[in-house]
Amino acid sequence: QGTRDHAPAQTALRDRLLSAVVSCFKRHGAAAIDTPVLELRETLMGKYGEDTKLIYELQDQGGELLALRYDLTVPFARYLAMNKITNIKRYHIAKVYRRDNPAMTRGRYREFYQCDFDIAGQFDPMIPDAECLKIVHEILSDLQLGDFLIKVNDRRILNGVFAVCGVPESKFIPACSTVDKLDKVPWEEVRSEMVGERGLSPEAADRIGEYVQLHGGLDLIERLLQDPKLSQNKLAKEGLGDMKLLFEYLTLFGITGKISFDLSLARGLDYYTGVIFEAVLLQQENEHVEEAVSVGSVAGGGRYDGLVGMFDPKGRKVPCVGVSIGIERIFSILEQRLEASGEKLRTTETQVLVATPQKHLLPARLKLISELWDAGIKAEMLYKKDPKLLKQLQYCEDTGIPLAAIVGEQELADRVVKLRDVATREEVRM
C-alpha cells in the first residue's frame, strides 16, 4: 500500500531526527502552526504542475469535493489568506499524501512526513532567502549525513534563458519540468524530450543546453551578468542581481563552500517565482574518483510570492520563501547505515530500572518507582512479583538502560538504595 509500520527502533530514530530539525527551526524563532489533513479539492488543484495527478481526491462528501493535502505549502498559503496574516515565520511538521508509485528503499511513500520552514512578509531582497539556506546547511551538518551540496537557481533566470533561446512563454513551465530531470538523466535525453514531447525547436533546445549545463559561484553570476543576450532580458537581469546579493549574504554566513549556483535546477512545482534550491547528499564512489556523485535530494524549497494572492478574495499578495526537509529520505539513509553497522538503537529513554534481589519485595519496588516517576525520572520495572536479579540486570543490558536501583532486605533495613552502573558493574549506596 506504499506505507509501512515502524518498529520501536525505527520510531526512535525518526523521533531523534525530528527533534534535531525542530530544534533548528526554533533556534531561528519560528512558531509552530498546524493545518488540516483535508483541504477543498479546488485549493490544491493547479498548484503542482504535472504532479497534480498525484493528489488523493475523495468522493463527493455531500456537495463538498475534498482531497488529502499534497504538501504543507499550499495549505499554509491558504491559511495566510483566510486569516489576513501578512507577516509570520513558521514551521510545520506533519504527514502529507501522494498517490505515487512507492519506492520504499529510497524513502518514497504515499504517506510521509514533511518538515517545513517558511518566512512570509515584505522584506528587503534575499535576507529571508539566505536564512532558509542557512537552515538547510545547519540541519544537514547537525545530522552528520556526510558531504552535501545545496544547488541554487532562480526561476526568473530560467525564464530569461528560455526567452532568449526562443521558447514561447506558454512553454516555459513544461520546459522547466523537463530541465528538472537533468540531475537524473543525461542532457541528450532531456534534449530529445524538449524537441519530441514539448515541441521546442532543435535550435532552441541546443541554445538552452549551453546555459543549463553551467554551474559555479559568484564568478559564474558575474559572467552571466555580462552575457550579451541574458543581460538584455529584464527577468534574467533581476534574477542574476538578486543571486549576486544572495551569494554575498551566504559568504557572510560562511556557507558558500557547500552552495552551487546551478542553472539546471528547475524544481517542477508551478508556484515558485524566484530563488529555488535543493540539497543533495554526495557520495564518494571510491578513493580514486575525485568528483563525488549525488545520492538524492534531501531538502528543497524556494520563493513563492504569488501563491497567497490566489486565495485572497482581493488578490492581495504576501511574499513567501520556504524550505522543506526530506526527513523520510534522510530516515531511509540513516536506517540503512544503522543496519550496516549492526549498531542497536535504544527504543526507550528509560534512565533506571528498579530491581529487587529477593522475593516478596514488590511493595518496595512499587513505592520506589512511584517516587522516581513523581520526581520526573524515567524509570521501569519488570511486571513480575519475584523476578530473579540476573534477569532484571539482563533486561537492562538488552534495552540499554544505564542504571539499576536495587532495594533488598538489607537496603530497606539501612534505609538506602544500591545504585548500579549496568555497563561497569560499579555500585554505590545512597
| Residue recorded with cell 529510497 | 106
Specify the residue for cell string 485549493. Answer: 43
Residue with cell 497567497: 308
Q: What gap in Å lies between CA 364 and CA 36, rounded to an integer?
A: 48
Contact predicate 63/90, CB 8 Å: no
- C-alpha cell of 345? 538503537
Asked if 91 contacts 119 with a C-beta cutoff of 8 angstroms, the reply is no
Positions at the binding site: 71-73, 98, 114, 118, 267, 271-272
What is the identity of the amino acid at 212?
A: V
Provide CB contacts within 8 A for 22, sequence distance 6+.
91, 93
| Separation of alpha carbons 430 and 428, rounded Å | 6
Distances (CA, A) of 234 to 153, 212, 225: 16, 19, 11
User: Alpha-carbon distance 356 to 376, whole Å?
Assistant: 21
Contacts for 315 with CB less than 8 Å, ≥ 6 apart? 309
Tally Cβ neighbours within 10 Å of residue 236. 26
Phi-psi region of 386 (alpha: psi -120 to 50; beta: other; left: phi over 0): beta
The residue type found at 376 is G
Distance in angstroms (rounded) separating the CA atoms of residues 238 and 42: 33
Longest Cα–Cα distance of the chain, Å, equals 93
Distance of CA 423 to the CA centre of its chain: 36
- Do the beta carbons of residue 302 and residue 325 sit within 8 Å? no
Q: Binding site for L-histidine: which residues? A: 71-73, 98, 114, 118, 267, 271-272
Cα–Cα distance for residue pair 206/387, rounded to 1 Å: 77
Give me the count of residues in the chain: 430
CA angle 18, 381, 345 (to 5 degrees): 30
What is 99-130 written as a DSSP string?
----BGGGTB-SEEEEEEEEEES--STTHHHH
